[in-house]
Amino acid sequence: MLLVNFDAHSDATSLPNLGGPLSERIQSYSWLSPLMPEPFSQYLWVVPGLMDDEYKAWAESELQREMSRGPVVERFRKHGGSIASHTDLADFPGLADLNISDPVVVSIDLDFFTRRSRYREDLIAVLRWTAELESLQAVTVAVSPVYLPEDPNWMYQMLETLFEEALRNRNWSIRFEPFIDRGRETSRWALEMEAAEREVPRLNISEAPPSLIRLWALNKKRISVEFKTDSWKALLDRY
């Protein structure tokens, strides 16, 4: 199965091979390597920039450096292959040249769009490209405020665009979990913010604008929420 990842970062960071349970721990900022080569045998990182020679060289170095250490190396060795033959790069315009026929999961991190001037239009383009994949198995979207613009309106605009597009696909089942508390944010950037005594931003869905809450309320039968359903109902009741 193929994983296509729209992300500002490769997400391939793995733990050093220290042995014991620590080596297999899955962290929010190093989630990819434990999922390869099973269930994902192929990984395509869609980079946010345009793939000129300099950018491609940097991205290839970044991806291979992170995927060449830790337990994932041994797992690929047991499957008789090298990591390099199972990973690839593309920019968004380059996706038009790809023929994707294998079962595919698409992962979208909103930080992919932070440097794009037409960020809402580009998100729509990514979602519509995704919806046209014949062997699409699932779509996941990550919202990590620590990596997003400081203005929360940017994030809420993107969430509204995301739900508008997802709801256009009548055969999509939508699961949304805005109330899961994952504890302290321990990504590198969050730790740097703490060290600088800056507040680490978190998603506070209760501050969503009325237009977004209205969209959720009008489509509540299409949106599944399993954690803190009472909080979800109270939020929608505001509409």
Residue by residue, DSSP assigns 145-191 as: GGGS-S-HHHHHHHHHHHHHHHHH-TT--EE--TT----S--SHHHH
User: According to the model, what pLDDT value does residue 42 have?
Assistant: 86
Is residue 187 a contact partner of residue 142, using CB atoms and an 8 Å limit?
no
Tell me the pTM. 0.80
Largest Cα span, the chain? 56
Measured between alpha carbons, how far is 225 from 235 in angstroms, rounded to an integer?
Answer: 12
What pLDDT is stored for residue 16 in this prediction? 38
Task: Check residues 31 and 20 and name the one with the higher pLDDT.
Answer: 31
For residue 161, give Cα distances in angstroms to 6, 34, 107, 148. 16, 31, 16, 16
Q: What's residue 15's pLDDT?
A: 37
What token pair was written down for 39?
């269930």
* 214: region left, alpha or beta (phi > 0 left; psi from -120 to 50 alpha): alpha
- What are residue 159's DSSP bridge partners? none
Interatomic CA distance for residues 22 and 16, integer angstroms: 9
- pLDDT, position 19: 44
**H helical segments located in the chain:** 53-67, 71-78, 119-131, 152-168, 188-195, 210-218, 229-237
Give the rounded percent of residues in the chain with a pLDDT score beyond 70. 72
Q: Tell me the pLDDT tens digit for each residue of 27-79.
A: 334 567 677 777 888 889 898 888 788 878 888 887 776 666 556 566 666 66
**What is the count of structural domains for the chain?**
1
pLDDT tens by residue, 160-199? 999 999 999 999 999 999 988 765 665 565 566 656 666 6
pLDDT in tens, 79-127: 656 666 778 889 989 988 888 989 999 999 998 998 888 999 999 999 9
Judged against a pLDDT cut of 70, whether residue 234 lies above it is answered with yes
Among residues 209, 212, 187, the alpha carbon closest in space to that of 200 is found at 187
Cβ-based neighbours of 94, under 8 Å, separated by 6 or more: 51
What is the pLDDT, as a whole number, of residue 108?
95
pLDDT for position 23: 35
| 198 DSSP 8-state letter | P
Write down the pLDDT at residue 58: 80
Give the model confidence (pLDDT) of 142-165 as tens digits.
Answer: 887 665 777 888 889 999 999 999
d(CA 169, CA 67): 35
DSSP string of 79-118, one letter each residue: TT--SGGGEEEEETGGGGG----S-EEEEEEGGGGTT-TT
Q: What pLDDT, on a 0 to 100 scale, did the predictor assign at position 236?
A: 96
Structure-block tokens of residue 176? 């949304």
3-state secondary structure of 30: coil
Which domain, by its residues, includes 171? 2-237
